[in-house]
Amino acid sequence: MNKSPQVSVRTMTDQNLTDFIRCPYRFYYTHIEKKKHPLGWRQAIQHIINKVVSSYFQLPQSHRTPANVMMLIDQYWRRLQLRMFDSHLQYYMAAAAVTDGLMRNLSSESEIAQPLFLYEKFKMNLKELNADLSLTFDVAEWQQDTFIVKKFLVDADEQMLELYSHLTVVFSERVFGIRPARIEVVTLMDDERHVFIPSKDSLEAGLNYLQMMKTLLEDTNKFSELYNMNECPACPFQDVCDRDGKIEGKHKYLS
């Protein structure tokens, strides 16, 4: 293929940026070409985590017990299909890690009276990027005159953690006019809690980071340098992906 299309970014979301970090080709086929694909095991488990966490924080404080965490996990986990996984072992290891992580982390959060945000999606126009920005706040709680933001994920590498911290800072300062006191990301597969403390320089760093990401999203010629071959075995686009060549087509829009 000789001619690569130019991509114009109109909207950047936490989801399409996460997909781009995992693999730019998967991002392209999902969000630009909008090709249909089956739900993968990681996406399915993330959906369950979101449901469990959201349901848990909607319970009265007196009902936020380990037993009810377990009940919620059982309620949503039974919707998973074993065929989504590469093996029975992968399924059982994921079930054990996510169950243990949710039990431990949600039990420690039982004192939050009422979250400020609970899986609320916000959208804003960022003039510096000439694009809209969309972000979902999983859980946020007040702390004096600011707030703490918490996110619960299946897993995340350093790039994804960096992405989320920058997105959260930019959104919080531009939409609410408040710098978060703390950003916490809990990754359940490895049972780690990653903590970020924003500073006065974090907004500028976040804007620079998002400008860099927008530039990468729009340059399909660079995709072959950025893709992660570790994502290939479980990718639903293996039959159409041309990662060794160049994506061909007309001008495309990410909206």
pLDDT range class, residue 2, cuts 50, 70, 90 = very low
Give the pLDDT of residue 197.
97
Counting other chains too, the contacts that 248-251 makes at CB distance below 8 Å and 24 or more residues apart are: 248/1, 248/2, 248/3, 248/4, 248/5, 249/3, 249/4, 249/5, 250/5, 251/5, 251/6, 251/7, 251/8
The residue-averaged pLDDT of 99-108 equals 93
Planar angle of CA 149, 136, 15, nearest 5 degrees = 120
pLDDT range class, residue 166, cuts 50, 70, 90 = very high
Nearest residue to 40 via CA among 53, 50, 26, 24: 26
Question: Which position has the token pair 């639903």?
Answer: 236
- Round to whole Å and give the CA distance between 44 and 139: 20
pLDDT range class, residue 4, cuts 50, 70, 90 = low
Q: Which domains does the chain carry?
A: 117-208 (3.90.320.10)
Instruction: Point out which residues pair with 131 in neighbouring strands.
Output: 126
Nearest residue to 209 via CA among 133, 152, 149: 133
- Residue 14 has phi, psi (to 5 degrees) of -60, -35
- Round to whole Å and give the CA distance between 219 and 201: 28
The model carries a pTM of 0.85
Q: Is the pLDDT of residue 44 over 90?
A: yes
Counts of helices then strands in the chain (DSSP H, E): 8, 8
Tokens of 54: 């959201």
Q: Is the pLDDT of residue 178 over 80?
A: yes
Half-sphere exposure of 226 (CA within 13 A, CB side): 20
- Round to whole Å and give the CA distance between 211 and 17: 12
- Round to whole Å and give the CA distance between 135 and 122: 6
pLDDT range class, residue 193, cuts 50, 70, 90 = very high
> To the nearest whole number, what is the mean pLDDT of the chain?
87
